[in-house]
Amino acid sequence: VQLQASGGGSAQFGGSLRLSCAASEFSLDALAIGWFRQAPGKEREAVVCISSSDLITYYADSVKGRFTASRDNARKTVSLQMNSLKVEDTAVYYCATDGVDIGICPTTPLLRYFDFWGQGTLVTVSS
């Protein structure tokens, strides 16, 4: 499974960005897709996960009410809509999956649960 994250860039405080995650070979609709981020000098953290049935699990309290995940099965992508961006949202964002077509998001988002990762896309938020 090869994933590719895109859509990163620069935004002002309070602005919005939309990230996309796609797989080159097949659709993501049967897979749970997690979004993670890694800020400079910090460990990678889980942000949100969307199951194959579109249930969303938030792992980072700081993004609740501002970020949401969705999927577009026709376009074979999963998106992360980020609104009301803060400077502390600055990070490289990754999408990942366990590649199993059960499509359930883990309660505890251990990195090792996710076997397949995209290359990351940089989001920079300025004040």
d(CA 78, CA 39): 22
d(CA 91, CA 77): 21
Neighbours of 106 (CB within 10 A): 15
The pair of three-digit structure tokens given for residue 35, joined into one six-digit string: 């979004």
Task: Assign 13 a pLDDT band (cuts: 50, 70, 90).
Answer: very high
Asked if residues 77 and 19 have their Cβ atoms less than 8 Å apart, the reply is no
- Judged against a pLDDT cut of 80, whether residue 24 lies above it is answered with no
Residue with tokens 């949401």: 68
Per the model's pLDDT, the better-predicted residue between 26 and 33 turns out to be: 33
Per-residue pLDDT, 15:
98
Residue with tokens 């080159």: 24
Per-residue pLDDT, 2:
86
d(CA 103, CA 82): 23
Per-residue pLDDT, 29:
86
**Beta bridge partner(s), residue 109:** none
Query: Which of 60, 50, 115 lies closest to 91 in space, CA to CA?
Result: 60
Q: Tens digits of per-residue pLDDT, 60-119?
A: 999 999 999 999 877 789 999 999 999 999 999 999 999 888 899 999 888 889 999 999
Q: Tens digits of per-residue pLDDT, 28-53?
A: 888 999 999 999 999 999 999 999 99
Number of helical (H) and strand (E) elements in the chain, helices listed first: 0, 11
Per-residue pLDDT, 75:
73
Q: How far is CA 31 from CA 2, 27, 49, 102, in A?
A: 13, 9, 10, 7
- Judged against a pLDDT cut of 90, whether residue 54 lies above it is answered with yes
Work out the average pLDDT over 3-19. Answer: 97
